[in-house]
Chains A and B, each alone.
Chain A
């Protein structure tokens, strides 16, 4: 087993949980990520079904066990699974899809924050141009938060998961905290 000690994107050894008024920011350090892209002329549906990997349509997130996924670009998804069981998520997916797909490890490319608040929309409207109120549950989109390209997935009126560039984790967190204090 790996004997190197992991460090979170915020530079700690344990993921952060912070609150700003009614908003709770939970750093998710327990999610493994990989990109899954269709190779030309291939059809992944069979293998996906077999492996339990959802392949949702544009702007959608779909949860299954052990895999969940959201659409990022035509013929490409970001697939996530529990880190504990799938630290080697790319290996798992390669095994499942073989040469039909291109798979790339993405776990540490992102810092992931779960944002929860009764009226989360009031915070998000200060951060990005997503129409969070109108968006359906499971809406997944790329957006910009304070100059940072992020993915945002709506898990409910009061819950969103934000995937930001790992190296900018502190700047992203700061933006969320300031906006929350300002808005709530």
Chain B
């Protein structure tokens, strides 16, 4: 597969390490959330057959974590964003 890195352009997916559903960005706050919330965060997945937002790490590249919107049936990639931008857009900060 080829991932169109927002900074570096097309790169062979072999340079990346896959993590999984981009929902992993939405980590609950450990001081307020309990086991149930963390259980859902850590273990449950939509696992769609179709469009999937997922985390890839450019380990053999610029070390950026990316959010890739990819169709899990056709493997077509619709969109690639820097995970840091996505996280900020979702209100994450420190």
Contacts and interface: CB of A to CB of B under 8 A. Distances in A.
10 contacts: A58-B7, A72-B63, A73-B64, A74-B7, A74-B64, A74-B82, A141-B61, A142-B15, A142-B60, A143-B60
The secondary-structure label for the interface of chain B is: loop
Given A74-B7, A129-B12, A58 B60 contact: no
B33 interface: no
B62 A72 contact: yes
Q: Bin the interface of chain A by size.
A: 10 to 19
Interface of B: 7-8, 12, 14-15, 59-64, 82
Contacts, number: 29
Contacts of B82: 74
Judged by DSSP, the binding face of A is: strand
A98 interface: no
Nearest to A143: B60
Contacts of A74: 7, 62, 64, 82
Contacts of A73: 62-64
A149 B60 contact: yes
User: 3 closest A-B pairs (Cβ-Cβ)?
Assistant: A73-B62, A73-B63, A58-B7
A7 interface: no
